[in-house]
Structure 1
Amino acid sequence: MSTPSTDPECLFCRIVAGEIPAEIVHEGERTVAFRDIAPQAPTHVLVVPRAHTPNAPATAEDDAAAFAEIALTARTVARAEGHEDFRIVFNCGAGVGQTVFHTHAHVLAGRPMGWPPG
């Protein structure tokens, strides 16, 4: 891996470590899923890799299995919430709204969503 496995200053690393409380909805070998604190849809869950990487492309490059598990966890979470249709969003960089620089997928479902987003 080209990035450290954890960052002691990272909010999501601290949630994964159990240092900061979160409403965990699913735990996998390489991922943790928890409810977003400012939901944008009836179902809004973040899926993060346990290892620290700054964004989705970095995770795909460093650990393809973790990147695949993010997508599979998103589907598992959506189905557990009663949704077959859902959206997965990755923000990659401050200019598009990424505020926590630990890879995370937003899983959104439970309401109609327009296209294009944004």
Structure 2
Amino acid sequence: MVASCVFCRIVAGLATADVVREWDDVIAIRPLDPVTPGHILVIPHTHVADVGEDAFVSARTMACAAELAAELPAANVITSKGSAATQTVAHLHLHVVPRTAGDDLPLPWTPQQHAAG
């Protein structure tokens, strides 16, 4: 555990979170500021900085995110590596973002994002 890491603190039970699902080694929580209804963060118990640090932890976390995404008719499953890629917490986490037609949620590679810029 990294004491200064909010996700490590959540996993250790030292910080509160709205837990959606738990596995032996991964937890899924609702973010404080969801981008869509049903937005979930999937976080490994093991502290790794990002998706590039430990392939096994990353794969396990993705498997759990895939379980959650399978329950949705449409979703983005997203992670970021590094601040230039918009990572704001240096602990691997995947966003499972439910989508609906016409929700207009802009992502960096979508036409809406380019029109907004």
CA distance in 1, matches of 2:22, 2:80: 22
Contact 1:25 1:77 in 2 (8 A): no
Partner of 2:63: 72
How many pairs are equivalent?
107
Equivalences for residues 22-41 of structure 1 within 5 A = 22-41=17-36
Give the match's secondary structure for 1:34: strand
The CA deviation at 1:114 is 6.2
- Give the alignment's TM-score, normalised by structure 2: 0.80
Partner of 1:108: 97
- Give the alignment's TM-score, normalised by structure 1: 0.80
Mapped pair 1:52 → 2:47: yes
CA distance in 2, matches of 1:37, 1:16: 16
CA distance in 1, matches of 2:69, 2:85: 24
After superposition, the C-alpha distances for 1:54-110 in whole angstroms (9 at most, x for unaligned) are 0011131xxx1x32221221132234xx51322111111111211110000011014
Contact 2:74 2:100 in 1 (8 A): no
CA distance in 2, matches of 1:77, 1:54: 22
Equivalences for residues 93-104 of structure 1 within 5 A = 93-104=82-93
Contact 1:74 1:107 in 2 (8 A): yes
Structure 1's unaligned 5+ residue stretches are 1-5
Runs (4+) of structure 1 moved beyond 6 Å?
Answer: none
Q: Considering only aligned residues, what root-mean-square deviation do their CA atoms show, in Å? A: 1.9
After superposition, the C-alpha distances for 1:8-30 in whole angstroms (9 at most, x for unaligned) are 11000000011110011111122
Partner of 2:76: 87
- Greater alpha carbon shift after TM alignment, 67-76 vs 101-110: 67-76
